[in-house]
Amino acid sequence: MAEPALTSSPPTEAPPLGLAAGELVASGVSRSYGAGPERKEVVRDCSFTIERGKLSVMIGPSGCGKSTLVRLLAGFERPTEGTLSLDGAPITGPSRDRQVVFQESALFPWMTTYDNIVYGPRARGDRGEATRALAETLLEKVGLQDFRDKYPPQLSGGMQRRAELARALINDPKVMILDEPFRGLDALTKELMWEYCARLFEESGRTNLFVTTDIDEAVFLADRILIMANVPTRLRAVLEVDLPRPRRLADVAASDRANDIKAEALSLLHEEAMKSFAHGSRAAADFVEAYANRRGPR
Amino acid sequence: MNATAKGAPALSFARGVVSIAVVLLLWELGARSKHWMAGDLSAPLRATLGALGFKTSYLPCVGAAPPPTGVLRSWAAILTDVGYWQSWAKSFLRVSGGFTAAMVVGIPFGLLLAVNRTAFGVAFPLFEVLRPIPPLAWVPASIIFWPTQELSISFVTFLGAFYTIVINVVGGAKAIDVRYFQAARSMGSSRWDLFRRIILPGTLPSIVVGAVVGMGITWEVVVAAEMISGGGSQIGGTSGGGLGFFIWNSYVGGSYEQIVVGMISIGIAGFVSSELLRLLGRRVTPWLSQR
């Protein structure tokens, strides 16, 4: 199925999505699984802040524990030690304040696009006219008006990702947590989704935490890049990405500043990847190889 | 879709027709020749097998089977027989009764085992001990337990579908992607909402599979139960016994054509029931067929 063109709309026409934005704080968080000799520590004494109204990208080698952090921040799991909070209130479970967009599609296959999008409001007993209107606005915003009555398997990969974004956005969360949302999409769709995602963020100013292993994705989207250490993970470094917004792919690709940030991020990531390589991780070995190739011609 | 794919249904239908026609033809020839495996023409084959040490008296004789034309003639003759159709009705009633009971009890029971750890711990071991007992092994006990023979046959039929349905429901519910629950809880779903909008639709495809498989087993079981129990013959001889008893009665009466008529009738009955269930299944799981 062909991707429909994503028409750009100026911020003035933005739908009446709330401008809720929250600050996520992790302090001294550890998480381990199993017990005794089988015990595996995935996160160790990890502290960071996801700043209000910014798009933070968390990047680190595959299998470094990023998805575990996502589950902890979302409230699906509790940390073994330490605390997580949103705007000062401790995180004790899942909440509409923190919506997660998962790796690959977690749309409900038995519901149409529209029913998926209005899942949250319906779950809370909200069947009001305003919600229905908001759902229509969102359908239009993600370019899926013509696919409202289709089931997820009938949508292309890019459409599924956009439907899932809409399903999360309708809940007007304070924080959007996106866990490698564009993994598995083809290169062209992926770049369209980057611009799309950047525009959504620029229009709403909502706090976003975006998890990825892709450095180009990170530099294009981020206000701040959190570089994570290899497992057991913790914050390794923070890079501020001071590129102007709104961002366009062509501008960022041509920007020297963007390339400098990328180089800096790569050298930090390279160290981490080498460490995991030394620990025998196959994914990390691929990672080192891929980035070694890419660093060359710069 | 390309041209080959479009022509596929017609082609596969043609293949099915040809394969059935060929089998019927070979059967007709074999039954009429009186030679296959037993007659003079098979002498060289028997001599060869005998030389290799086989006891040729163990070879089957296709010639002893009634030919398809004979079966058809016999079928045509009983099509107007009320007793034959009563056998159909009887078996259908038993199957639908046992099957419906299995669905009504099996689906909630399976869902309970899937969502409640305590219920699972208490009931699943018992369930797993009972499950390997073939439904037919329950026939004598069931005749003793239940006040009427009709109830005992229905009970055995129920068992045939029950285990399959429960196993499918439990497996289907447990295989639901954990991210669906996580997403739903993030969006504010209550427990009841999770059950109604995630677990139930998520399990539906497995329920359909369990029902279709269970229906097949139900037919196997009802026929055998009717044979063993004498088909509830107190209800009215041949007419009250169902298709299983119809076959048994034909065998006892020496009407070999009618045995085959009974067998094919069961084949058709089972096929129709399963197709109806599949059709219904597609209606309730529209997201699976729309790609």
- What is the ipTM score, two decimals? 0.84
Cα A34 from Cα A29, distance rounded (Å): 17
**Is the Cβ of A171 closer than 8 Å to some Cβ of chain B?**
yes
pLDDT band at B240 (very low <50, low <70, confident <90, very high): low
- Whether residue A24 contacts residue A51, with contact meaning beta carbons closer than 8 Å, is answered with no
The mean-pLDDT minimum among A94-108, A282-296, B70-84, B204-218 falls in A282-296
pLDDT number for residue B53: 81
Q: Are B112 and B42 found together in one domain?
A: no
Nearest to A74 among B184, B186, B189 (CB): B186
Cα A152 to the center of its chain, rounded Å: 20
Sheet holding A98-101, edge to edge: A98-101, A175-179, A207-212, A55-59, A224-228, A235-240
Backbone angles phi, psi at A24, to 5 degrees: -95, 135
Q: Among B12, B40, B65, which residue terminates a domain?
A: B65
Look-up of token digits 């866990």: A179
Q: Are B238 and B113 found together in one domain?
A: yes
Q: Are B59 and B79 found together in one domain?
A: no
Range of the domain at A53: 14-97+173-295
Is residue B197 scored above 70 in pLDDT?
A: yes
Q: Are B131 and B94 found together in one domain?
A: yes
Q: Are B91 and B157 found together in one domain?
A: yes
pLDDT number for residue A170: 94
CB contact under 8 A, A119 and B186: no
pLDDT number for residue B230: 65
User: Would the pTM count as exceeding 0.90?
Assistant: no
Q: Are B54 and B102 found together in one domain?
A: no
> How many structural domains are present in chain A?
1
pLDDT number for residue A297: 43
Cα B32 from Cα A4, distance rounded (Å): 67
| Residue A269 DSSP SS3 | helix
Is residue B228 scored above 90 in pLDDT?
A: no
Q: A104: Cβ–Cβ under 8 A, 6 or more apart, which residues?
A: A183, A184
Q: Among B13, B37, B65, which residue terminates a domain?
A: B65
Span B57-63, average pLDDT: 73
Span B60-78, average pLDDT: 85
Concatenated DSSP letters of A226-242: EEEPSSSB-EEEEEE--
The mean-pLDDT minimum among A43-52, A284-293, B133-142 falls in A284-293
In 3-state terms chain A splits into helix, strand, coil percentages (rounded to 5) of 40, 20, 40
Q: Does A120 map to a domain? A: no
CB contact under 8 A, B182 and A124: no
Cα A231 from Cα A30, distance rounded (Å): 11
- Whether residue A17 contacts residue A169, with contact meaning beta carbons closer than 8 Å, is answered with yes
Q: Does A138 map to a domain? A: no
CATH of the domain at A227: 3.40.50.300
Q: Are B149 and B22 found together in one domain?
A: no
In this structure, is the dihedral angle defined by the CA atoms of residues A226, A227, A233 and A234, taken in order, positive or negative? negative
> How many structural domains are present in chain B?
2
Q: Among B46, B65, B84, which residue terminates a domain?
A: B65
Collect all residues of chain B within an 8 Å Cβ-Cβ radius of residue A96.
Answer: 186-188
Nearest to B179 among A95, A102, A110 (CB): A102
pLDDT number for residue A104: 83
Q: Are B77 and B157 found together in one domain?
A: yes
What's the start-to-end Cα distance of chain A, in Å?
Answer: 36
Q: What is the pLDDT of residues B245-265, one digit of tens each?
A: 888 888 888 888 999 999 999
Range of the domain at B42: 1-65
Is residue B31 scored above 90 in pLDDT?
A: no
CB contact under 8 A, A123 and B180: no
pLDDT number for residue B248: 86
Is residue A298 scored above 60 in pLDDT?
A: no
Q: Are B25 and B81 found together in one domain?
A: no
- Whether residue B189 contacts residue A123, with contact meaning beta carbons closer than 8 Å, is answered with yes
Backbone angles phi, psi at A280, to 5 degrees: 85, 25
The mean-pLDDT minimum among A111-120, B37-46, B262-271 falls in B37-46
Q: What is the pLDDT of residues A91-148, one digit of tens each?
A: 999 999 999 999 888 999 999 999 999 999 999 999 889 999 999 999 998 899 999 9
pLDDT number for residue A2: 46
Q: Are B217 and B104 found together in one domain?
A: yes
Q: Are B124 and B226 found together in one domain?
A: yes
Q: Does A6 map to a domain? A: no
Nearest CA in chain A to B200: A110
Q: Are B201 and B277 found together in one domain?
A: yes
